[in-house]
Amino acid sequence: MVKIAVLDDYQNVALSIGDWKSIPDGEVEAFHDHIDDEVALVARLEPFEVIVAMRERTPFPRSLVERLPNLKLLVTTGARNASFDMAALKERGIAVCGTRGSPTSTAELTWGIILGLLRHLPEEDRNVREGRWQTTIGPSLSKLTLGCLGLGNLGKQVARVGKAFQMDVIAWSQNLTQERCDEVGARLVTKEQLFSQADIVTIHLVLSDRSRGLVGERELALMKPSAVLINTSRGPIVDETALIRAVDEERIAGAGIDVYAVEPLPADHPYRSLKHTLLTPHIGYVSSDGYGIMYGDAVEDIKAFLQGAPVRPVQ
């Protein structure tokens, strides 16, 4: 039997979504809790030959990879995983593969957060339940400027919705061209112009050495006091300490956050008590369609590997 571990199945749905029974001689165990302690993680994972990681919920640094002698295949849901030490995995001869995912769910959530934050939806929902009526006022989107930090596949989807709301859309990233901006009716601006002109700054960049800490004290200081920051990309792109200060001191109007430097978010994290924020638990990619695609592809990856066929590469 091939022992297969499915990690961080928070909602307890993995085994009901993927066709795991189609894997020849596969013995699949799904884990619903998250383990940070590496010693405990090694004790759990040591028997398994195949591990399916849900995105970057559980990192695989060299120190962990070298302590899993039975591991032959590591699958990440999604096309890339910045938390895998690819060099260590290659040295050990461990195969690594990825999956597809929902192409739209993160952009959809981005707009849910934008609307929820600007129109104070969590507060007004609570108000109605507790007997209050119309205590907030939100802006009309058509009067605002949307600043897209990154205009890749997700950024373009978000920008198109902004245009549908008749917003002025501006964009910047290090290699962005006006030609790409023209595809969605956006204006190419400098980084400084984006932060100073946008009423909504929304982040759609891949986490890399170039983007880590890209949004810090300097960038936040450029923003209007009425502007908000939205991050559905990766937590480390934003300096959390700087953002907490900017929101707490009301130097910006608020923040909508789906991603964090440490996940799950620690119980004592300042975000939990920070006003003028809308927090979601990294659910940009979490949708029924997305899970169906990712777990379905993971099953196919495992079957292909066991049959000696090519698997989907990780970017």
Q: Which one of 120, 234, 300, 312 is the catalytic residue?
A: 234
Q: Cα 305 to the chain's mean position, in Å?
A: 27
Phi, psi of 308, deg, nearest 5: 75, 20
Q: 263 an active-site residue? A: yes
Q: Which one of 55, 120, 204, 282 is the catalytic residue?
A: 282
Q: 251 an active-site residue? A: no
Nearest Cα to Cα of residue 255 among 116, 103, 80: 116
Q: Cα 23 to the chain's mean position, in Å?
A: 29
Q: 46 an active-site residue? A: no
Query: Measured between alpha carbons, how far is residue 174 from residues 149, 153, 193, 213, 301 in Å?
Result: 10, 16, 14, 14, 34
Alpha-carbon Rg of the chain, whole angstroms? 21
How would you class 87 by CB atoms within 10 Å of its CB: exposed for 0-12, middle for 13-18, buried for 19 or more?
Answer: exposed
- For residues 48 and 69, the answer to whether their CB atoms sit within 8 Å is no
Cα(130)–Cα(122) distance, rounded to whole angstroms? 12
Q: Which one of 212, 263, 269, 276 is the catalytic residue?
A: 263
Strand partners, 255: 229, 277
Cα(153)–Cα(178) distance, rounded to whole angstroms? 16
Active-site residue list: 234, 263, 282
